Amino acid sequence: MVRIFLAGVVLLAGGAFSSAAPSPAPPTNSPEFQQALSLIRQLGDDSFRVREHASRQLIQMGRAAKPALLRGIADANAEIAERSRRLLPVAREADLKARIEAFTQDKDGKATHDLPGWARYQKLVGADAASRALFVEILDTNSALVEVAEEEPRLLAERYTQRLQEIQMAMQRPSSGVNALRLADVAALLFVGTYGEEAKTPNRNNVNVFVGNFFYQKVFRDALTGGTQNEPVRRLFLAWMDVRTDLTSLQQGLQVAIQCDLKAALPIARKMASAKETVPFMKGMALLAIGKLGGKEQIADLEPFLADETVLGNANFNNVMSSTQMRDVALAVGIHLSGQQPKDHGFEMLQQQPLNFSYFYNLGFADDAKRTAAHAKWKEWVAKQPKK
């Protein structure tokens, strides 16, 4: 029969370990590991005091006790197995807090830190003060998710979805307020979304749609467009966007880049437009992003698309049906990048409205004669330009 495991052990965990220096997990042939195994065996002792003392000692060992605790979970003694199971997350959390504190105190970044996800994060985002501060917030609020991404990738899709649902529920609580979404939560979802395929393309419960919805929340938009965390948030968002493979995320990411004028997203848009595997709809969106984020030097990128007759959509304008082809989008974008107005080249639906880079349905023509005339006018302009 499993004896009662007092909550006091858990409550004492923070105080017992908070001032201890982080220590690496020892090899299984080390004296420290053997010490931890001895304490594991004491978890099944007949004496309550011995069991409680062993529990505290294992907590104080922190991460160093992890290998022994993992063995303890599989022990045939039910008392040892149960106490090991409960002690493992407590020890890991206490150790993580100490390591985060050491990381925070190392303001100049001179020491080596093995915090979960740090090696990957600094490659994607950076190690400057603002980037480090955002990383600490991610671990403070979502360390469990990051640890799963690092240590148990097979569980990542499930845990990612679960964490997303938890964040949504927190936002819906009456007491949460209109700005209940934390920037650290969105940042964590973006960061973990750069890991394996399980998190890049999760498809259960419309995960991609819900992550994209967070991009329109004030706390994220404010960080993306200004503030002390502007640069790391932008870099993190672009790193997330760069590995997207699903249509929903690609569309949402490009729209955010366009709306927030993220010039740094231009290489991503160019890559998407030129990739053979990109579906026509997203190629059209990528061309619009090039038009918004690029300059005259990107006109050459449009050349391959000026003969592409792929139909992207239809629209009704003043009771007249028009169709938009890939070459029409490329033409409108090229005219814009050249400093001219697409409406002056025959784009009828732009006569009363400006070029909108979020959609391309108003960039079509009612008949091929008008389309041919518009493209011919562009070719005449190009022919008159100085040869480089």
* pLDDT tens column, 122-144: 999 999 999 999 999 999 999 99
All residues at 6 or more sequence positions from 274 whose CB lies less than 8 Å from its CB, including other chains: 301, 304
Average pLDDT over every residue of 169-177: 70
> Is the torsion defined by CA of 156, 279, 354, 301 positive or negative?
positive
Length of the chain: 388
Task: Tally Cβ neighbours within 10 Å of residue 200.
Answer: 19
Q: Report pTM.
A: 0.79
Alpha helices in 230-357 (DSSP H): 230-242, 247-259, 266-274, 280-293, 326-337
Q: What is the pLDDT of residue 16?
A: 34
Quote the crossing angle between the two packed helices 247-259 and 230-242, to the nearest 10°.
150
Task: Tally Cβ neighbours within 10 Å of residue 123.
Answer: 10
Q: Quick one: tokens of 326? A: 């890939």
| In the chain, % of residues over pLDDT 90 | 55
> Is the torsion defined by CA of 322, 325, 327, 332 positive or negative?
positive
DSSP 8-state code for residue 137: H
Task: Tally Cβ neighbours within 10 Å of residue 82.
Answer: 18
Q: Side-chain half-sphere of 159: how many Cα atoms within 13 Å? A: 19
- 193-207, 241-255, 267-281: lowest mean pLDDT where? 193-207
Q: What is the pLDDT of residue 31?
A: 86
Q: What is the pLDDT of residue 301?
A: 93
Distance CA 285, CA 371 (A): 20
Average pLDDT over every residue of 277-291: 95
In the chain, the amino acid numbered 323 is S
Q: What is the pLDDT of residue 10?
A: 39
* 232, pLDDT greater than 70: yes
28: confidence class by pLDDT, cuts 50, 70, 90: low
Q: Quick one: tokens of 363? A: 């960039």
Residue-wise pLDDT for 47-64, tens only, equals 999 999 999 999 888 778
Distance CA 201, CA 2 (A): 42
Q: Are 65 and 35 in contact (CB under 8 A)?
A: no
Quote the crossing angle between the two packed helices 230-242 and 183-192, to the nearest 10°.
30
Q: What is the pLDDT of residue 63?
A: 73
- 18-27, 89-98, 182-191: lowest mean pLDDT where? 18-27
Residue 370, strand partner residues = none
Q: Between 277 and 10, where is the model more confident?
A: 277
Number of H helices, E strands in the chain: 18, 2
* Average per-residue pLDDT for the chain: 86
